[in-house]
Structure 1
Amino acid sequence: MTDWATMLDELVRTRGDALVSAAYLLTGDLAEAEDLVQDALVAAYSRRRTDDDIRSAEAYVRRTIRNTFVDGFRRRKRWAAVRHLQVAPPSQPDDGAATPEHVPAHLDVLRALSTLTPRERVCVVLRFYEDMTVPQVAAELGLAQGSVKRYLSDAVKRLEHHLGPLADAHHIDLDVTHGGAR
């Protein structure tokens, strides 16, 4: 196996789940998250990328995931405009349908995240899920720190509208794999 193929194999084997989890926070849909990771891996390794280590490979793929998500917003917006034209069978209510008190907290977080703009959502995921500082988020996205602060401020207000007051927005747990917001 060539060096790039070995690195890709190791990245998918050891960090694949973490990449899908991060993409899931952006998309809110597991199938879309998996597709987003796949697209990012193809984009990153279609040029036979050679990284020195797994950490730099993962960082590059994570950046590609975020850029692909933000850039794909227009495509998703167009699809949303015509999605209603797709023929779908009528949904039947499930007898065991979840009532609001039985909906897991992480579903509430995902619904709230879906109300954010793509830039706000990426900033929130980087800041609170990836635990980056505002300067790190700004550097990662190529934005001014003031822009990142504005995106985060607007996002937290919108999240609070859906989730209730967030006592300390610096410690929001967006890890959907461990049970939701805290």
Structure 2
Amino acid sequence: MADFDDFVQGRGSALLRFAFVLSGDAHLAEDLVQEVLARLHRRWDRITAMDHGEAYVRTAIVRQFLSWRRRRAYRETVLAEMPEPAGLDEPQQSVVARDQMWRMLRGLPRAQRAVLVLRFYCDLPDDEIATLLGCRQSTVRSQAARALTRMRALMTEEGVHGNG
């Protein structure tokens, strides 16, 4: 299984980043990647024979993230209110804005969050997102529209200024 070991060594960090952006939680991201890689290890030769190893692994990560079992076990809690960004210098404002964006993204339903991550982080077109999620392109578009509408509403509620 040298191919598998090489894949994990070469692409493991990128898969962790992907899972982190998807889940918003470093520990959950590690669990997702570890669980998916453990499951796929036994059939790695068949997966790489299809010549889409990384895409297959990413799909498995997304599906595991969206699974009912994970949804039930995964709990998010807000521990503190964000400080107001007024009076902060530019790097601090950037950190606060990024944190606000993470909180809003985590507030979305899992399917909507997955669509936004796949669209904006992975830069995938709707047809590829639909294939990954096992749904139609129209579902991807409606999930994205709902997610962006919700994010805009949250930005208005929290007084966050953005470009969209």
**TM-score, length of structure 2 as denominator length:** 0.77
Alignment correspondent of 1:87: none
Aligned partner (choices 77, 83, 86) of residue 99 of structure 1: 83
2:109 aligned with 1:113: no
Alignment correspondent of 1:15: 11
**8 A Cα contact 2:32 2:61, kept in partner:** yes
Q: From the superposition, tell whether residues 129 and 6 of structure 1 become closer, same or farther in structure 2 (CA, over 3 Å).
A: same
SS of aligned partner of 1:116? coil
Where does the alignment leave 5 or more consecutive residues of structure 2 unmatched? 86-91
Q: From the superposition, tell whether residues 39 and 69 of structure 1 become closer, same or farther in structure 2 (CA, over 3 Å).
A: same
Q: Give the whole-Å Cα distance in 1 for the aligned partners of 2:7 and 2:137.
A: 31
Deviations 1:31-56 (A, max 9, x none): 11011110110111133444148x72
Alignment correspondent of 1:180: none
**8 A Cα contact 1:134 1:149, kept in partner:** yes
Aligned partner (choices 105, 113, 124) of residue 116 of structure 2: 124
Query: 1:78: Cα distance to partner?
Result: 5.3
Query: 1:109: Cα distance to partner?
Result: 2.0
Q: Give the whole-Å Cα distance in 2 for the aligned partners of 1:74 and 1:134.
A: 26
**8 A Cα contact 1:115 1:158, kept in partner:** no
RMSD: 2.9
Q: Give the whole-Å Cα distance in 2 for the aligned partners of 1:26 and 1:79.
A: 13
Q: From the superposition, tell whether residues 130 and 109 of structure 1 become closer, same or farther in structure 2 (CA, over 3 Å).
A: same
**8 A Cα contact 2:64 2:70, kept in partner:** no
**Identity percentage of aligned residues:** 31
Q: From the superposition, tell whether residues 165 and 31 of structure 1 become closer, same or farther in structure 2 (CA, over 3 Å).
A: same
Aligned partner (choices 143, 149, 154) of residue 157 of structure 1: 149
**8 A Cα contact 1:137 1:148, kept in partner:** yes
Aligned partner (choices 27, 33, 36) of residue 29 of structure 2: 33
Query: 1:123: Cα distance to partner?
Result: 0.8
Alignment correspondent of 1:175: none
* Higher RCO (C-alpha 8 Å, min separation 6): 1
The amino acid of 1:65's aligned partner reads I
SS of aligned partner of 2:52? helix
